[in-house]
Amino acid sequence: MKKHYNVGQNNSNYINGKSLKLNFCIDCHKKISWNAKRCKQHGYKHNSLLRIGKKASNYKHGESCKNKKHYCIECNKLLIDYTADFCKYCSQKGRRSPKYKNGYYSKYEHKNNHCIDCNKIIYPISKRCKKCNYNFLKKRNKLKQKKNRLCCIICGKLISRYDSLFCRKCYRGKNHSNWLGGIGYEIYPPYFNNKIKEQIRSRDDYKCQKCCKKENNRKLDIHHIDYNKKNCEKDNLITLCHKCNNRANYNRDYWYAYFKYIIKKI
């Protein structure tokens, strides 16, 4: 037979056979462990009663009781925390404030300071109230912007952008960066009529050859690939929507090669 070394007297926690005795709860007489006095239910209730009144560990001469009321020393407001002496507002006055520096605030406490513009009572150090200060900063920022702005060379108006030299009205014609000697004002030839336009639209299935947009309410535009209005051959014409036709006016070398590549496939 094998010996059980952790049972009975061989156990390290053996104390004169106390663990073998039966133990009962004081309140309900249930069986419990030999170390305890009460079961879990009655032990929880007993411990909760110890936390109230004089039995509590934090009891200090009845200060923690709910019936007593505590007031602020200066303004006599009710306080929730019985350990505090001042309310939130009074605790930040004078030397009690974290911003106190060698009596700097204490000099101006007895004086009533007024706003320069509207004569309202304000904080003793400031000059204006919030509304007047907001309007004052707006005006000051506008004056700074006017000094740094440039003026149009032709009409003398102020310009918002520092890069440009002309305003919107004057940034036209010869003053525009895309000016090419007035080519846009040339008249189309008479044989560039509606019949040729419809033939090219039907050739391209009434779609924009750049974004594949179909024709709905507005008719699609017809673009000259080499930007020559007199060259109205079918290989030089292509259908585009209004947006793509405006984009083709910029970077003309790129769009010339792009549309030539598309026509070869057609």
Domain-wise residue ranges, the chain: 19-68, 192-265
Write the Ramachandran bin of 43: left for phi over 0, alpha for psi from -120 to 50, otherwise beta.
alpha
Phi and psi for 31 in degrees, rounded to 5? -75, 130
Please name the residue ranges forming H helices in the chain. Answer: 40-50, 130-148, 194-203, 242-247, 252-265
Write the Ramachandran bin of 115: left for phi over 0, alpha for psi from -120 to 50, otherwise beta.
beta
Answer whether 146's CB lies under 8 Å from 160's CB.
no
Alpha-carbon span 188 to 70, nearest angstrom: 95
User: Each residue's pLDDT tens digit in the chain (266 positions)?
Assistant: 445 555 566 766 666 665 566 788 888 888 888 778 888 888 877 776 666 666 665 566 655 555 667 788 888 888 877 778 888 888 887 777 766 666 554 444 445 678 888 888 887 777 888 889 888 888 776 666 555 567 788 887 877 766 677 888 888 888 887 777 777 778 888 889 999 999 999 999 999 999 988 888 889 999 999 988 888 888 999 999 999 998 888 888 899 999 999 888 87
For the full predicted model, state whether its pTM sits above 0.85: no
